[in-house]
Amino acid sequence: MSGIQSEPSGALLAVRNLVVQFSSTRGFLVRRHVSTVRAVDDISFELQQGEIICLVGESGCGKTTTGRAIVALERPVSGSIVFKGLELVGLGARQSHRVTRHIQMVFQDPYSSLNPRMTVGASVAEPLVIHRVGSPEDRRQRVGELLDAVGLHPESSAQLPHQFSGGQRQRIALARALALNPELLILDEPTSALDVSIQAQILNLLADLREKYSLTYLFISHDLAIVRWLGDRVVVMYLGRIMEVAPSDDLFQTPLHPYTVALLSALPVPDPTVEDQRKRIVLEGEVPSAANIPVGCRFAGRCWLWRELGSPEQCQEMEPELSCVAKDHLVACHYSGEAAVRPFGLDPSVD
Amino acid sequence: MSESGLERTTETRLLPASNHPGAGDGLLSPLLSVERLEVQFRAKHGAVRAVNGVTFQVSSGEMLGLVGESGSGKSVTSLAIMRLFPRDGSVISMGRVWFDGQDILSIPEPAMRRLRGRDMAIVFQNPMTSLNPTMRVGLQIAEILMVHEGLGRRQAFERSEALLQMVGVPAVHESLAKYAHEFSGGMQQRITIAMALALQPRLLIADEPTTALDVTIQAQVLDLIRERAAETGMAVVLITHNLGVAAGLTQRIAVMYAGLLVEVGETRSIFASPRHPYTVGLLGSLPRADYHRVKLTPIPGMPPVQVEEPKGCPFAPRCARQISVCSTETPALRSMGRQVAKPSRAVPNTCSHLVACHNPVPTEETPLMPLGSRRD
Ligand SMILES: Nc1ncnc2c1ncn2[C@@H]1O[C@H](COP(=O)(O)OP(=O)(O)OP(=O)(O)O)[C@@H](O)[C@H]1O
Ligand SMILES: Nc1ncnc2c1ncn2[C@@H]1O[C@H](COP(=O)(O)OP(=O)(O)O)[C@@H](O)[C@H]1O
Ligand code: SF4
Ligand code: SF4
Ligand SMILES: [Mg+2]
Ligand SMILES: [Mg+2]
C-alpha cells in the first residue's frame, strides 16, 4: 500500500488495514457456523482536517460498516483507526464515550434512527443532556436553532417522529448529530431519503457548516452527482475493498479504474442533450456475495476492460494492490492505464 | 415582467368535456387520457386531498415522465389510474380516466380486473409490493398466464421461463422454483417487470422502479424498460423524482406539485427552457456530475405537508416570482407555444409546452448553461 502511509502526521483520522467481518449463523437450536462475510477487507485511507471525503460504491460494498467501525459500533477484526493521534480500536467504554462527542454519525435509514417515543426536541437535545452541555433553557434555544438550520419549524420540537415524513426525520437526525458541534461528521447517505429541493438545501447547509466550523466529513453516498458536488476527495469501494482514491476533480475527469469508469457512465445526467450523446457501459451481472469473494481481482467477473483485453489471466490470479499511479491518485487495477484512455461518457464532446 | 411569458400565451382548454378525448384536434387519439382527476381520502376530520385536478394524456409508444417531490401525488395518481384503491368509499376519485375509449373510473370491477391484468400494468418501487413472499416465483408468473390467458400449467410455466429470460434473470430454470426473498432487489424488480409484461400490456406505469436500486443495476433495469417499450410500442408512465432518469428516457415530462400539474412539455423543452418557478427550482437544486460545484439554488421552504384545496397557487409560499393574483387565483395549465424546433426523439402526442403559472419565468432567464456545452 505504497502511497497511503507516507504521511502519518497531520491527519485527523487515519484508517489502516481495517478489516471487519460478520459471521452469519444458521439453524435455530444448534447455532452452526456457516460463513464469514468480509464486509470491509483491508482498507486504508486518511482524512485531513476540514476535508470532505466521499465513500462511494454500490450497496453492500462496506461503506456503512466502515463508518460504523469508526464510531465504534462495529469491532474490527484487525487494523487501526487513529483519531487525532488516539488509537480508537480497543478503547475502553469511558474513553470511547469522550471521543464520540467529536465524531457523530447520521444514518441512512430515517425510520429507525430516531426513538419513536421521544419528542423531536428531546431527541435533538439528548446528546446535549448526555454530555451535560448547557442549562435546560440553553438547550431549548439550541434545539430551536438546530431545527431551523435543518429546515424544520421550531414548533416541531413537541411532536413525535411518526408525525414526520422520512425526509423530515432525516433532518431531525441531522440536527441531533450537529448538536455537539462535532469535529468529524460521518454522514451515511444522509440525503438519500430527501426530496431534491430539500436535498439541495441540506447540501448547501453541509457545505456552509464545513466552511464555518472547519468540519471534516466522511460522506457516504452512492450518488455520484452529490459526490462530485460536495467531495474534495473520493474513495471508491467495491466488495469491501478500495478500488480507487483520488481528488474529486481527477476522479471525475480521468477515472482510472474500470469500475469507476462504469459507475460514472451509468449515472443519469439531468440533461437530455448529454443523455442522448453519451455512451454507456452497462455492467453485467451483480456484485458477488461478500461471503464468497472471488480470487484475484474481485471485480474481474463484471469487468468490461478485462473482457476487452481478452480476459488476461493475471486478473484472476493476482489481487491488484492499491497503488499510486499519479499524484494523489491511487488505483487497484493491473491495467489502470488502459481504462484511462476510454471516454467515460459524461463529456458529450468526447466520442 | 410577466408579459414576456403571457404575450405568447394562448388560452387553451386542455380537453373539451367530450367523451372522446383527443377527437377533433387532428391528433392521434391518446391511449390514456386523464381529465381533471381528483383523489381524496376520507379521514376523521373531513377529506384529505392528494390529487387536485390533474389532466394529461399518453399515447402508445410514448414514455411520459411524471416527476415531483414526495407527497406531490404521483403515486396516488397512478393508483387511481389503475383503480387500485379500496372500493369501500374511503377513497374518492373524481374526474375521468379514459383508457382506450373506456372510462376507467366507472366501469364495473370485473371488467376493470381484466383490463388491469391484460392492458394496463404497474411496477412499484418496492418489488415486494407485487411479489408474494410465500409463493415460488415461477408459479406467481404462471398463475397470471393461467388466469388471464387460460394457458395450461405446462405452457404457463414455459412462458414464465421465457419471460424471466427476457428480463435477464440468470439460471432461469432454477429461478422459477425460488422464492422472492432469495433474489437481490434488482432481480426482484426484474421479476416484477416480467410479471407486469406477461400479458403484453399497452400501458405500463412504473412508479419509481429503480429508486431502491444501485446505479449500475438501475441502468440495467431502465435499459430493460426502454427496450421492452421500444419493441412492443407500449406506453409508459415513468414516475421518478430523478430528473436525470427522466432526461435520459422520456419524450415528455409532467411536473407535479401539491396534487397539481404545474408544467408539461417535451423533455428537451422542459430542460432547456423550464418556465414554472418550481421546475426551475428543481433543476437548480440538482447537483450535477458534469457541472462541478456550480452553486445549488434550492427552493426555499418545503413542500406542503398536506395538499390543500386549491386557492391561489400552491407554490406561492415558496415562490420568488409571486404577484398579487397568485394568492387568489389558481393558475390553469396554459400553452406557452412550442419551444423546441426540432425534437430529437419522436414525440407522438400534442407537443405544446404547458405551464400553470401567472408569472412564468421568461425563457431568457432560464437558469441553465447552454446544454452540454460546459465542463470543468
Ligand atoms: N392511504 C392514504 N390515506 C391518506 N392520505 C394518503 C394516502 N396515500 C397517500 N396519501 C397522501 O396523498 C398525498 C400524495 O401521496 P403520493 O403517495 O401520491 O405521493 P408521491 O408523489 O407518490 O410521493 P413519493 O415521491 O414520496 O412517492 C400525500 O400527501 C399523502 O400523504
Ligand atoms: N450486522 C451484519 N451482519 C451480517 N452481515 C452484515 C451486517 N452488516 C453488514 N453486513 C454485510 O456486510 C457487507 C457490507 O455492508 P454495508 O457496510 O452495510 O454496505 P454499504 O453501506 O456499502 O451498503 C454486506 O455484505 C452486508 O450484507
Ligand atoms: S485488475 Fe483486471 S479485472 Fe480487475 S479491474 Fe483491472 S482490468 Fe479489470
Ligand atoms: S402562479 Fe405565482 S406563485 Fe405560483 S408559481 Fe407562478 S408566479 Fe409563483
Ligand atoms: Mg449502507
Ligand atoms: Mg410515490
**CB contact at 8 A, B79 and B239:** no
CA of B55 from ligand 2 middle (Å) equals 44
Cell 437535545, located at residue = A125
Q: What is the ipTM of this complex?
A: 0.77
Say what the pLDDT of residue B292 is.
Answer: 56
| pLDDT exceeds 90 at position A14 | yes
Domain ranges in chain A are 254-351
**CB contact at 8 A, A53 and A218:** yes
Length of chain B: 376
The whole model's pTM is what? 0.82
Task: Say if strands B102-103 and A241-247 run parallel, antiparallel, or are unpaired.
Answer: unpaired
Say what the pLDDT of residue B293 is.
Answer: 57
**CB contact at 8 A, A163 and A151:** no
Nearest residue of chain B to residue A262 (CA atoms): B216
**Which residues of A are less than 8 Å from B244 in CB distance?**
225, 267-271, 275
CA of A64 from ligand 5 middle (Å) equals 4
Q: Which of A336 and A337 is assigned the larger pLDDT?
A: A336
Distance CA B3, CA B359 (A): 8
Residue B327 is given by DSSP the state: G
Nearest residue of chain B to residue A231 (CA atoms): B293
| pLDDT exceeds 90 at position A318 | yes
State phi, psi for A145 to the nearest 5 degrees. Answer: -60, -45
**Ligand 2 nearest atom to the CA of residue A237, by list position:** 22
pLDDT, tens digit, 9 for 90 and up, residues B246-268: 998 999 999 999 999 999 999 99
Residue (of B187, B118, B199, B129) closest to B160 by Cα position: B199
Give the distance between the most distant pair of CA atoms in chain B.
68
Distance CA B291, CA B283 (A): 13
Three-class DSSP labels, chain A: CCCHHHCCCCCCEEEEEEEEEEEEEECCCCCEEEEEEEEEEEEEEEECCCCEEEEECCCCCCHHHHHHHHCCCCCCCEEEEEECCEECCCCCHHHHHHHHCCEEEECCCCCCCCCCCCCHHHHHHHHHHHCCCCCHHHHHHHHHHHHHHCCCCHHHHHCCHHHCCHHHHHHHHHHHHHCCCCCEEEEECCCCCCCHHHHHHHHHHHHHHHHHHCCEEEEEECCHHHHHHHCCEEEEEECCEEEEEEEHHHHHHCCCCHHHHHHHHHCCCCCHHHHHHCCCCCCCCCCCCCCCCCCCCCCHHHCHHHHHCCCCCHHHHCCCCCEEEECCEEECCCCHHHHHCCCCCCCCCCC
**Which residues of B are less than 8 Å from A225 in CB distance?**
244, 286-289
Say what the pLDDT of residue B338 is.
Answer: 57
Q: Return the C-alpha cell found at B195.
A: 410479471
Query: Is the distance from the beta carbon of residue A107 to the nearest atom of ligand 3 less than 6 Å?
Result: no
Domains, chain B, ordered by start? 6-119+201-288+312-375 (3.40.50.300), 120-200 (no CATH)
**CB contact at 8 A, B260 and B314:** yes
Average pLDDT for chain A: 85
pLDDT, tens digit, 9 for 90 and up, residues B193-209: 999 999 999 999 999 88
**Ligand 2 nearest atom to the CA of residue A220, by list position:** 21
